[in-house]
Amino acid sequence: MTLHREGFATITIGLLALTLFQWGNFWLLGVTGWLWLFILLSLGVLVMAYLIVQFFRIPKRTFTFGPNDVLCPADGKVVVIEEVEETEYFNDRRIQVSIFMSPLNVHANYFPIGGIVRYVKYHKGLFLVAWHPKSSTDNERSTVVVEHASGQSILFRQIAGAVARRICYYATVGQQAVTGEEFGFIKFGSRVDVFLPIGTELNVKIGDDVKAKLTKLATLK
C-alpha cells in the first residue's frame, strides 16, 4: 500500500495540527493531574491521525479483464441503476450506474475502459450530499468520455459531496486511456456516475459493495 500524492500536503498539515494539539493537551492536562482526560484526548488524536492517513491510501491491486469489460472506477456502494437522459454530451438515453464513496473508501478513480479520451470538462457547482438526486447535475463535478475500440463510448463523472471540496482529474482530450489506470481523485466523501450504452450487460445491482479495478461493472455488447 502507498499514499496518494494528493494527500501529502493534507497529511502534513493535519499531523502538524494534531501534534500541536497534543502538545497543548500534555501541558494543560497531562502535567496538571487530569490524567484520564489527557489519555482520552490522546486516543482521539491517534484515531484522527489514522483516519487522515488511511483516507489517502492506495492499495496494490492486480486485475484481469476482457476487451469489452467495464471495470468499476471507484470503491464504494452502488446506489443508483436507472435509464436516464444524458444531456451533457450524448443527448440520448443511457444506463446510469452511481457509486457512493464514503470517507472510509479509497478515493482514487480509474479508467473503466480503454480507448481515446474524447471529452473532458470541469464544472463548478454546489455541494449537496452525494446521494441527492440533483448532485449529478448541480454539484461540483468533472466529466470524461472515452471512446472504446468497439466504437461505443461511455461517460463517467466525478461528483463532489457535502464534505468533498476538491475534485482532481488528470485525463486530457486525445489521451490514450488504459483500463485500470488512474484518471482522478476526490478528497473526502463523494460519488462517481457511469453512463453506459442502452443494452449494456450489467454485472452489479443496487446495494452491491464494489472495488475499483476488482469489480466488473458491465460488459459492452
Between the alpha carbon of residue 64 and those of residues 117, 144, 177, 180, the distances in Å are: 22, 23, 16, 10
- Ordered strands of the 182-186 beta sheet: 108-110, 182-186, 167-169
> Using CA atoms in the order 126, 129, 132, 137, what is the torsion angle rounded to 10 degrees?
30
- Does the active-site annotation cover 190? yes
> Using CA atoms in the order 54, 58, 63, 65, what is the torsion angle rounded to 10 degrees?
100
Whole-number Å distance between alpha carbons of 5 and 153:
30
80 φ, ψ to 5°? -140, 130
Q: Which of 98, 136, 153, 190 is catalytic?
A: 190
Task: Write the DSSP symbol of residue 105.
Answer: S
Residue 174 corresponds to which cell in the numbers above? 486525445
Residues with a catalytic annotation lie at 190
